[in-house]
A = this chain, B = another copy of it.
Amino acid sequence: MTVCNEQINLEKLKKAEQIILELQAELKNYIAAGSGPFLAAIYDENDHLIAKTANSVVSENCSHNHAEMNAIKAAEKVLNTYDLSAHNLKLYVTAEPCIMCLGGIMWSGIKEVYYGVSSKRVEEITGFDEGFKPDWLNEFARRGIKVYGEIATEAGEKVLHEYVAAGRKVYKPER
């Protein structure tokens, strides 16, 4: 069941379904090449692709390198600014952002967020720790950031199941 924090716009949702299905399909290739099982893409208001990046925590040895963080960093580099808001950018990602990425999204000036699998289902399927979160959809609404979530979840859950079945790394701090 799709969740969203504005009056639902079916055109936006349809476009997001298409993009997230494409990301889920591509994600399999990223995983085969050593990435973590999450992929993010940032598009501008004219639907031009600005950045597309997978999770690279293990491959680049940095715990910050979630797909969303990598995509924002890449977009800020391409557009040469720490404030993306003037570009009216949309972030599409294969799973719900964690607490770190929620902050990263807020501070970047991204205007719209579309995600696939919920954190709850990611945790259930993979064993990844997605952390604690406040009621972020309402907090984002208050800040004018639109969110649509749980989009094309069947395809997304299938990729995560395959990641686990292939014995790929479910990294987390050992504590």
**Interface residues as binary, A77-91 with B (CB distance below 8 Å gives 1, 0 otherwise):** 100111111100000
Query: How many copies of the chain does the oligomer comprise?
Result: 2
Q: How far is the CA of A141 from the CA of B29 in the complex (A)?
A: 38
A172 CB contacts on chain B under 8 angstroms:
83, 107
Q: Does A57 contact B (CB under 8 A)?
A: yes
A selection of 23 A-B contacts at a CB cut-off of 8 Å is A61-B77, A62-B77, A63-B72, A63-B76, A63-B84, A64-B69, A64-B107, A65-B82, A83-B172, A85-B175, A98-B103, A98-B107, A99-B99, A99-B102, A99-B103, A100-B100, A100-B101, A106-B131, A107-B173, A132-B134, A132-B136, A134-B134, A143-B175
